[in-house]
Amino acid sequence: MDTPAALIDTLKMQRNIQRMQQRADSLGVHLRPHVKTHKCAEVVAAQIAAGARGITVSTLKEAEYFFERGIHDILYAVAMAPHKLPQALALRRQGCALTLITDSLAGAQAMVDFGRQHGETFAVMIEIDCDGHRCGVKPQSPELLVIAQLLGASLAGVLTHAGESYGLDTPEALQAIAEQERARCVEAAERIRATGLSCEQVSVGSTPTALSALSLHGVTELRAGVYAFFDLVMHNIGVCRADELALSVLTTVIGHQAEKGWVITDAGWMAMSRDRGTQSQKRDFGYGQVCDEYGEPIDGLLLSSANQEHGVARFEHSHVDVVTHFPLGTRLRILPNHACATGAQFGSYIAVLHDADVQVWERLRGW
C-alpha cells in the first residue's frame, strides 16, 4: 500500500455510527448526519442503514453527489448565497427534497424573489444563534419574526449549532451548552408559532452536544457529523476514547535526525492538514498522535511538526534511539486532530474491513 493513505477502521466506524443512532433514538428525535466529515457514499450508506433520516451537507456539490446516489432528503446547512439559487432550483426540479437555510432578511428575500420568478417554493429553515459562535438570528430578535413572515409557506423550521461546545471539556459544561442549544432553538420556534405560522422542524446538534444532552424536548431532529470517525479534538473534549478514532493516516518512515530524536515520515501537512485544533485544548497533540502500524498509540510520540510532504515525529519527554526503534521503511499510523480536515486531503479512503481485507472508498472533493 502506498503512503500516505487515509485508513478507515470500519469496525470502529460502525460502532460510532450505532452509538449516535442509539443516542438519537433514546432522545426521541430523528438523526440527520452531517456528511461533511467523510463525504463518502459508503459511510452514508452505513448511517442510513443504522436508521438515519436524510443527510446534512456543507456544499451543493455534496447535495448533487449524494442525490445521484439515491439520497433525496438533503439539508444544505450553509446560509444560501443568491448566486447558487439556480443550482438549488435544478436539484429540486430533479426531485431532490432540498432544504436551504438563511439567517438574514436579505437572504430570505433573495430566495422568495427567485422562487416567484421561477414558480418554485423553496423549503427554508432559519438559522438560530444559540451561543454567539458563528451565524444565526438571536431567538429573541425582532428580525426572526420578520424573516419568518417573509418566508411564509417556505418556512420549514429553525435550526442551530452550538459550535462553542468544541471549547469545553467537562460533562457538566457540555450538558449545559446542550441544554442552551435546545432551549434557544425551541424558544425561536415557539415565538414563530405564536404568530400563527407553522414551524414544523426544530433541528439542533453538534457531536459534543448530541452525546451530552439530557433532554431534547421540543426538538425534532439531531444533526452531528464527526462522530462517524471521531478525532483528537473530540477525544480532548471527552466524548470519545482514543481507541474509538476510526480515521488514521498510514505513513512510512523515510529518514531520521538521530541526534535530535526525530523520525521523518512521508505524512506532512498535505496529508494531515494544517489543523492544530488540539493546540488550544488541555492536551496538545501537535499534528497528530503517532501509532504503530496496527493503530496502537505509541506513548509520547507525536507528529510535532510538519512541512508539505515531510512530518517530524518525536517523543515529548524522552530520548529514544529512533533509528533502531523505527528503521527506514517502518509503517506508522497517525491519528488526526480534525477528521474533517484530514479527510479533505485525500481523494479516497482505504477501508479496512472486519476480515482485514481492504476496499477503496471514493471521497468527494471541491465545491
pLDDT in tens, 195-247: 999 999 999 999 999 999 999 999 999 999 999 999 999 999 999 999 999 99
Instruction: Report pLDDT for 354.
Output: 84
Q: Which residue do the cell numbers 517502518 mark? A: 330
pLDDT higher than threshold 90 for residue 319: no
Per-residue pLDDT averaged across 77-83, rounded? 96
DSSP-derived 3-state class of residue 17:
helix
pLDDT in tens, 124-173: 999 999 999 999 999 999 999 999 999 999 999 999 999 999 999 999 99
User: What is the C-alpha end-to-end distance of the chain, expressed in Å?
Assistant: 29
pLDDT in tens, 11-59: 999 999 999 999 999 999 999 999 999 999 999 999 999 999 999 999 9
Q: Which residue do the cell numbers 448533487 mark? A: 64
Identify the CATH number of the domain defined by range 246-335: 2.40.37.20
Side chain identity at residue 137, one-letter code: V
Q: Where are the domains of the chain?
A: 12-228, 246-335
What distance in Å separates the CA atoms of residue 243 and residue 241, rounded to the nearest whole number?
A: 5
Roughly what angle, to the nearest 10 degrees, separates helices 142-151 and 171-193?
Answer: 60
- Rounded to the nearest integer, the mean pLDDT of the chain is 97
Q: CATH top-level class for 12-228?
A: alpha beta
Per-residue pLDDT averaged across 49-72, rounded? 98
What distance in Å separates the CA atoms of residue 304 and residue 311, rounded to the nearest whole number?
A: 8
Instruction: Report pLDDT for 318.
Output: 82
